[in-house]
């Protein structure tokens, strides 16, 4: 099993400001209810068939609602050579801090 890199919301915000990709692995109804601005929606269940949409040579942030599904997606991506970072606390933490949500 690969080591999973994790970071918090403030690190995610810094990554976004650097232009790094954010992948939201929640289900469509969750994503549509509000997500981190600019996040690409790729549900956990389809990560293996949509990996070509994920940048491989740059940090990619993986987020869900709380950090559980994104941890699994991050572990999978890391095993396949991606520079993936799990977002601890997920969209829930992003919302709690009061950062903007895109719908």
CB 90 within 8 A of CB 64: yes
Instruction: Look up 22 and say whether it is catalytic.
Output: no
pLDDT at residue 2, rounded to an integer: 66
Residue 84 pLDDT: 97
Catalytic residue among 64, 73, 87, 93: 64
Q: Say what the pTM is.
A: 0.96
Which contacts (CB < 8 Å, 24+ apart) does range 8-12 have?
Answer: 8/87, 8/88, 8/89, 8/93, 9/87, 9/88, 9/89, 9/93, 9/94, 9/97, 9/99, 11/85, 12/36, 12/61, 12/63, 12/87, 12/94
| Domains of the chain with CATH codes | 5-97 (3.40.250.10)
Q: Quote the pLDDT of residue 1.
A: 58
Distance CA 33, CA 25 (A): 14
* pLDDT tens track, the chain, 103 positions: 568 999 999 999 999 999 999 999 999 999 999 999 999 999 999 999 999 999 998 999 999 999 999 999 999 999 999 999 999 999 999 999 999 999 9
């Amino acid at each position: 099993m690969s080591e999973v890199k994790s970071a918090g919301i403030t690190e995610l915000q810094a990554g976004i400001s650097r232009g790094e990709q954010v992948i939201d692995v929640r289900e469509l109804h969750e994503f549509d209810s509000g997500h981190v601005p600019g996040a690409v929606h790729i549900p956990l269940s389809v990560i293996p068939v949509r990996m070509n949409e994920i940048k491989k040579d740059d940090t990619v942030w993986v987020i869900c609602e709380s950090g559980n599904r994104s941890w699994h997606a991050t572990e999978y991506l890391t095993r396949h050579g991606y520079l993936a970072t799990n977002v601890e606390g997920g969209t829930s933490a992003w919302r709690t801090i009061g950062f903007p949500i895109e719908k």
